[in-house]
Amino acid sequence: MPLARIDVPRGKTAEYRAAVGDTVYEAMRATLNVPENDRFQVIAEHADTDLVIDADYLGIHRSRDAIIIQVTLNEGRTVELKKAFYKAVADGLHQRLGLRRADVVISLVEVKKENWSFGKGEAQYA
């Protein structure tokens, strides 16, 4: 169960935010072997002062449209699958929304399966 937290600059339309969420989910399905209907996302808008993304870290120039995507997921995916995911998200957002690839910051947080509860106060994967 990946949990995607997606942070975007304030002022983006509901359609824009939905397209970002759809693109992230589709990339997870295509590259990280995420099952159908395994979609958990939090999409939040932030004022400029609350979404701090360095404009030039690592020599990559980011604009004010930059977004942050953090995905918490079960550990164990290969570096190749992770790279494929990063590319699929950046390419998908560029194609769908015209978002510059340089404006897509992604972080993966891997956890053990027993660190999830899907409800009822139970650890369904433990």
According to DSSP, the residues that pair with 44 across neighbouring strands are: 7
Which of 1, 2, 39, 97 is an active site residue? Answer: 2
Task: Please give the backbone phi and psi of residue 3, each rounded to the nearest 5 degrees, phi first.
Answer: -115, 115
CA distance 68 to 25: 15
**DSSP structural state of residue 111:** E
**Single-letter residue type at 69:** I
Residue 67 in contact with residue 6, Cβ under 8 Å?
Answer: yes
Residue 2 appears among annotated catalytic residues: yes
According to DSSP, the residues that pair with 106 across neighbouring strands are: 69
**DSSP structural state of residue 121:** T
Q: Which residues are catalytic?
A: 2
